[in-house]
Each structure stands twice: as C-alpha cells, then as structure tokens.
Amino acid sequence: MQPSWLIEEDDGSVPHPLAGTVMPGSDIIMHVLAQEGTEVIFGYSGGAILPTYDAVFRYNAATDESMPLIVPANEQGAGFMASGYARASGKVGVVMVTSGPGATNTVTPVRDCMADSIPIVVISGQVPTPAIGSDGFQEAPIANIMGAVAKHIFLVTDPEKLEATVRTAFEIARTGRPGPVVIDIPKDVQNWEGVFQGKGKLLVRGYRERIAEVAENVLTDEKCRLFFDALEKSTRPLVYAGGGVINGNAASEVSALADRFEIPVVTTLMGIGTYDTTRERSLHMLGMHGTAFANYAVDDCDFLIAIGARFDDRVAAVPEKFAPQARFIAHLDVDPSEIHKVKAVDWNHVGLLPQAMKKLLDYGIHTKKFNKDFTPWNAHIAELKSTYAMNYDRQSDLIQPYAVIEEINRYTNGEAVISTGVGQHQMWAAQYFDFRSPRLWLTSGSMGTMGFGLPAAIGAHFARPDLVVVDIDGDASIRMNLGELETVTTYKLPIKIVVLNNLGDGMVKQWQKLFFKGRLSASDKSLHKKDFIRAAQADGYEYAVRLEKSTEMKQVIREFMQFNGPAFLEVMIDPDAGVYPMVGPGMSYDQMITGDHIPTRNLEEEGSQVEVDSSEMF
C-alpha cells in the first residue's frame, strides 16, 4: 500500500534497473542525483556527510567519473560554483557539504540564488537524529537558518522518505520561479539501509496546485486583443526584459516578438542576453547604471512591455516617475506576487513566458495581422544611441577599465561566458561587453555578493566547456574568495581571470565622493600589500601578468586571451575611474548623472550632488 505522503507518477518510463535493491541511504541519494541529470557536484567534506561522500567515490569508480566532485577552498565557493553552473546551463546545480559551519557557509550563496531565482539543491550533512538539539559537535539549526533564505528546506528524519525528498527537492528547485532548496540529512539517515524504489515524490499538493495553475493559465484571444489594441494606439513601444526571461527560457520568444513588430528592447542587469546586444534595436541595460540611451528611451516610450521583470529599486527607484509618458503598461511574469507589487499596470498575465510570448506572436501575425510601422520611433532610438553613446576619456595616459573590457570584447565577440564580482567592474562589464545569447552573463544581481565571480566562473566552465569563460573581478571583490584561484589550477580549468585593480572599494568610494563629500570611510582601507601576481604564481598559474602601461594593453590582452590554460591578468586601472551613467538614490532618469564624457539631456549636475539619508539604499 502506498504511503499517504508519497506519490508515484507513472510517466511511462522504463523502471530503474536497481528498483527493489536494498542499499544505504547515501547510495540512494547518488542514484536520485543521477536520475535528475546531475553532471557535477560541488562540495567540501566533513564528518556528518562522510557516508554520502563515500557513496560519491564509489559511484564514480563504477561509472568512470560520470559525476565529478569539485572541491572548493570553502563551502561558499561551492555554492557559487553551483550557482554559476545553474546560471550558465539552466539546469539544477548541486552542492554537498557537511553539518555546522559547512552548511552555514552556504547561507550566502543560498540567499543569493533565492534573490536571483537560481535553481540549486544543497545537500548538507547533519548530526545523527537522536543528537539533534543537543548542541553536538558541528551541529547548527540549518532548518531554522535556511528556512528564512531558501525556497524550501527539508530536514529528513524519516529515512523512508529520503528518496522521495531528494527527488522532490529537484522538482521544487526547477519549477515555477526557480530557487534554492536545502536538504538537511542526519548521518544516521545516510547510513540507514532500505529499498530503492527508483521513483516517487513527496505529496506537496499545495505547491503543485499553484505551479499547475500558473502553467495552465494560457493567454486568451480576448487578452491578446486588448494587448494589440493598446499596441495599435502606441507610437513608441518598448520591451523591458528582466531575469525572468532568462530563467524562464523565453529569450528566443521575446526576441521573435521584438523583431516581428520592430519594438526596441531594454534589459535589466539580470536580463542581459535576452536580446543580442549587437542588434540595432538593442538598447542594452537600463537602470541605475544603465546606458543613457536606454534610460531616455524609457522616459520617452508610451507603451511599456515588462516581461519577467519586477520594477526593482535599481530600475525604478521612484516608481511613479518610471516610464512617465507610458499610457499603457503590460506586465508578464510567472510569479503572481510581482504583479502590481511596485508599479500598477494596465494589463498583466501570470503564466509560463515561452507559451505566452508564442501566443502573442501568433495572435499578432495571424489573427490581428498587426503591421503598424514604428519606423519613426526606431529612428528616434537610433538617434538616442548615437547622441548618448557610452564613452570615456580615450586620451588618458592611465589605463581606463572601459578600454580593457572593449579590448577583451574584441576577442569574446559576444560569445563567451562572462562572470563578475560585485562593484564598479561589474557595471563596466555589463555596459561594455556584448552578449549575443542568454546565459553568457553571470553576476550577483539582487544580493550584490562580492566574491561571486571566480567560483561562478568555475561552475560555468562545467556547464559550458565549449566556451571561453572570463571572470572580470575587482581587487576587493576577488579577495572574498581568493582561495578559489587554486581550485582553477587544481582542475586545470582554462578560465581567464581579470582583476581590475583600483586599490580599494571603487563603488563605495564613488558614492562617498558623490554623496558624502569625499569622506572615504573604510573604502580606501590601504589593502595595497597584496601581490596578486605572486599569489597567482604560488597557486600554479603559468600565465600571471600585471598590466601597468596603457601602451602595452593590446599586446598583453592578446597574449592573455590566446594563452592555453588558466590565465591571470591584473590591470592597474585609473583609481578615479567612475561608473557612468548613474541614477542616484531616490532620483528619476531625468536626473541621471552622465559624467564628463556622455552627453545629458538635463544639465543639472549640481542637483545631483546631494546628501544621502541613511535610510537610502546603497
């Protein structure tokens, strides 16, 4: 008789060849991982997870290393590696760590994945079930801690539920709005022996009903008619695409709609790659550090089509002034909680984005036969891109970070995986790199976690070994997970690491100069003794070079990009280089600061030099 907590879906597949076999819980975990398509595990061992680590060893010995285990310098690195893998592949990343500090070290990457809707499964060891709550060695209340930051947390105290729990964790991680799921597994549950069923999931009825409701909510002809009626009245429509387009695998459908009806596209930081940035209608990124022409296009549009975007504070710091001329706003998303959360809209649809975009496109072409000419608007867009183009001091003797990225971009040609840390270098990379397709841009968006770039690049390599992977990092950001330099060389990964060194926390200093009268509190902290080149050489980098002269930039970058194997490049950049454009806290796009080299439509530089209240967000 089937337990009340178990469902066994008959999908017509061939029964697992090991179904009915008695095996340890640790082996059951491994076979479920294999069923779920796990290609690589990122993790660090320890006492409470040793039974499952032994199972990993034995599984790989029997399957010719079909599920390699990549060991980081610490567990935070493992979490970001799994995140980088998931972001680059669209699959679920897997982390395996021990109890106590092993698990708590993954809190930051778990929250980071939750904030950016990234699917990972964290398998953490726990002290034996009878010892839970006794403050035993390396015990931590992971269910309590992770419950606040993960999409879901399981504490497996009934070994009979282990197999179904692991399978259900993957389902929850990848479905709906993706996110991180944590499974806390006591050591005695890993050692328990029971029958491997080869199928079955937990009965999470409420969750599945919500997911099914969204999946089954298809666009009606009436809603499509209302959408195109509004588009018919529009003369300046604009697509505003967010990270939900990438996570929902809807980039090709969004691009098809934009191309068919000749609608320009702006993307959020997380939406980069939705639309080929080399295309004429691409306006690149909007928002706090978006291109001036993208932000001005938002100001000028009369119909805003938000897809998989959430009007967050980096984009719509002043919601009532965002897209001020838009007479009609449409919003499509997979998460109903995002509709009307920040900005009221005139039309919305909650459902799977690929099928919604296909329905709109099909209705517009065949039913509506929509063919309105938006040539004047596209001409205006072209003028915005020409007049307010990205620019910087191209005559400076100091190395400009923008020039470094432009030069690397000549080699990557929009077809490499680019990961970043967090700070000025992150924004420069978003602004000056090209991205021809989705899942090539990996960055910590909502959480803004320094130290993300290097381990994420490692994970990305295992997702896309066919592509060049480049980590653009900062001297402060890379310090956070500098130990992963050795991970790269240990596994002989041909990852290219660039450190744009401005001797401090560049983004913090920029804010302090603009809004705190130049008081560099703790941002110019004299962390100048680190010799990154010697550190890289000590970790086994055969190519480790410091670039200090702008006249040598092209030659050094050519050698760096052409080097076969792990490569490390430190670039001593202009320490005063800033990130522009910039929309300050509490400001609208018409108050955008464009710096000295990008024109502005509103010359109110003195108005931008305002003190920032402590309640304002960074």
Query: Which residues are known to be catalytic?
Result: 75, 137-138, 187, 507
Question: Measured between alpha carbons, how far is 532 from 177 in angstroms, rounded to an integer?
Answer: 39
Return all residues near 563 (Cβ < 8 A) that are at least 6 apart. Answer: 496, 543
Half-sphere exposure at residue 134, Cβ-oriented, CA atoms within 13 angstroms: 9
Q: Which residue has the tokens 């660039």?
A: 498
- Rounded to the nearest angstrom, the gap between the alpha carbon of residue 561 and the centroid of all alpha carbons in its chain is 24
Would you state the structure tokens that stand for residue 591, as one six-digit string? 């108050």
Distances (CA, A) of 184 to 64, 132, 328, 384: 28, 11, 47, 53
Encoded amino acid at 441, one letter: W
Task: Name 193's bridge partners.
Answer: 24
Burial (Cβ within 10 Å: 0-12, 13-18, ≥19) of residue 369: exposed
On the question of a cis peptide bond just before residue 581, with omega within 30 degrees of 0, the verdict is: yes
CA distance 380 to 215: 38
Residue 341 vs residues 2, 177, 312: alpha-carbon distances, Å:
42, 16, 10
E strand or H helix that includes residue 152? strand 152-155
Provide DSSP, 259-324.
HHTT--EEE-STTTTSS-TTSTTEEEE-STTS-HHHHHHHHH-SEEEEES----TTT-SSGGGSST
Q: Is the dihedral of CA 204, 205, 206, 211 positive or negative?
A: positive
